[in-house]
Chain A
């Protein structure tokens, strides 16, 4: 099967890219390995911050419904494959997939990689005991499938995911025993941190997990303080009785498909790890292969949605489509992105993009 554009990953970036392309009249195939489209939005029950234009004060799941409605207007131009894993990407723009144990090939004129990110893990003693979870996995279990991960949780990491998932655990009636953070400050929004602090959660800075304790699953956790070289200080150990250790230490872009086709990938710490070297049109070093969303650097869903819109328009232009007022539209979208990246919380992403050396 051949399509004009194949989008791999139907999260916030992939969905908005699709919506722009369809509006322009381009045929799109969206592929996602999950049961539902939406990526992280499927489990984001919290309200977004930012400006109204970027859906502030709407919940992630409601934003998803809205994006989905938009796509439904183009039944003849859009094909969606869920529960479909892309297993290979090749230089002639052939995509190989597997769905229900069936292997098949697709091809396209242009490909948009919107694969998002995966969660980072942490090396500590007994980190393979059942009960050690990634925070995103806990969020999926609770908010998508309605399953509690345990009864007493230690959260590791004070980024927005750690803070928000702590709150959502408490909403689900799970006891959050405390939160540890290796740095000397909260790395997410203070408003989220204050909320869980007010509800009685202890927040321990300069602290990390030394080891998990348990026979068949987690029964307790030992935490300790870190010195300024991030080394544990003997004698500061403290044991907490928990059955769940929830790891929220950041995300890493999922660039494996881009690396398969030899697209240039660089390590930029501020963007979360390996990211494709894209130009200002969000095109990678491989002709007609674009990338947007967390795969180009870890940000928020609001930025991913704008980057997706830009990438949709840029892809259509590259394929020779006429896009009315595209210069004004793109300028506005880039301006919206800049606005989102202002302020102290945007400084990391600004530094990362500066290292990449393009105007994204």
Chain B
């Protein structure tokens, strides 16, 4: 299996090879990976890749899945335009 052709995060085109390279550099939490590679920050907000990222961390660092911390989640669940928020605010006024 060629890890360069295994897509983990479709939104940001992050491959298994990318993740392993980061693990080798010492990054080992989802939060770190997210800041460096944007994994989990696209339209799906980690709903597709999240479990696979957790699994790969668990496998590489030999850490039980239960102990792999999940990344922080904040509003919003999907990308929306600033214009839409502004329009909502103007309607309120």
Residues of A62-121 whose CB lies within 8 A of B: 85-90, 96, 98, 101-105, 118, 120-121
Report yes or no: A232 in contact with B1, Cβ–Cβ below 8 A.
yes
The answer for the CA separation of A122 and B56 in the assembled complex, in Å, is 11
Nearest-Cβ distance from residue A304 to partner chain B, whole angstroms: 19
Q: CA–CA, A211 to B72, complex, Å?
A: 32
CB <8 Å contact, A125 and B75: no
**Chain B residues positioned under 8 Å from A242 (CB to CB):** none
Q: List B contacts of A101 (CB < 8 A).
A: 81, 84
Task: Say yes or no: is B36 at the interface (Cβ < 8 Å to chain A).
Answer: no
User: Is B34 at the interface (CB under 8 A from chain A)?
Assistant: no
In the complex, A184→B91 CA distance in Å?
Answer: 59
Does A105 contact B88, Cβ atoms closer than 8 Å? yes
Cβ A89 vs Cβ B75 within 8 A:
yes
A268: chain B residues within 8 A (beta carbon): 66
Q: Tell me, rounded to whole Å, the shortest Cβ–Cβ distance linking A222 to chain B.
A: 10
The answer to whether A259 and B73 touch across the interface, beta carbons within 8 angstroms, is yes
Residues of B near A103 (CB, < 8 A) are: 80, 84-85, 87-88
Q: Is A254 an interface residue, CB under 8 A from the partner?
A: yes
Q: Once the chains are docked, how many angstroms separate the CA of A105 from the CA of B84?
A: 12
Q: In this assembly, does B7 line the interface, its C-beta being within 8 Å of a C-beta of chain A?
A: yes
Our pick among A87, A118, A124 for the contact of B48 (Cβ within 8 Å) is A118
A128 vs B74: C-alpha distance when bound (angstroms): 27
Chain A residue numbers with a CB within 8 Å of B85 are 103
| Residue among B65, B66, B78, B87 making CB contact with A102, cutoff 8 Å | B87
- A126's partner among B5, B66, B78 (CB-CB below 8 A) is B5
Task: List residues of chain B with CB within 8 A of the CB of A90.
Answer: 75
Q: Which residues of chain B are within 8 angstroms of A211 by Cβ–Cβ distance?
A: 1, 5
Interface size class of A (residues with CB under 8 A): 35 or more
- Which of B49, B65, B80 contacts A121 (CB under 8 A)? B49
Contact indicator A260/B73 (Cβ below 8 Å): yes
Report A-chain residues with C-beta under 8 Å of the C-beta of B10.
Answer: 128
Residues in B whose Cβ lies below 8 Å from that of A120: 51
CB contacts (< 8 Å) of B87 on chain A: these are 102-103
The answer to whether A102 touches B8, judged by C-beta atoms less than 8 angstroms apart, is no
Residues of A within 8 A of B77 (CB): 85-88, 256-257, 260
> Is there an interface contact between B8 and A125, defined as CB atoms closer than 8 Å?
no
CA distance A274 to B66 in the complex (A): 9
Instruction: Report the separation of the CA atoms of residues A101 and B88 in the bound assembly, to the nearest whole angstrom.
Output: 11
* One of A86, A88, A98, A118 near B47 (C-beta < 8 A): A118
Given known pairs A267-B66, A267-B70, the reply for A85 and B49 (CB within 8 Å) is no
In the complex the two chains form, what is the Cα distance from A87 to B80 in whole Å? Answer: 9
**Contact between A85 and B47, CB atoms less than 8 A apart:** no
B39: Cβ under 8 A from any A Cβ:
no
The residues in A between 261 and 316 inclusive whose CB is less than 8 angstroms from any CB of B are 265, 267-269, 273-274
Asked if B6 is at the interface of the complex by the 8 Å CB criterion, the answer is yes
Does B45 have its Cβ within 8 Å of any Cβ on chain A? yes
**B57 at the A interface (CB under 8 A):** no
Q: Is the CB of B80 within 8 A of A98?
A: yes
Interface residues of B (CB under 8 A from A): 1-2, 5-8, 10, 16, 45, 47-52, 55-56, 65-66, 68, 70, 72-78, 80-81, 84-85, 87-88
The 4 closest A-B pairs by CB, nearest first: A88-B75, A87-B76, A259-B73, A128-B7
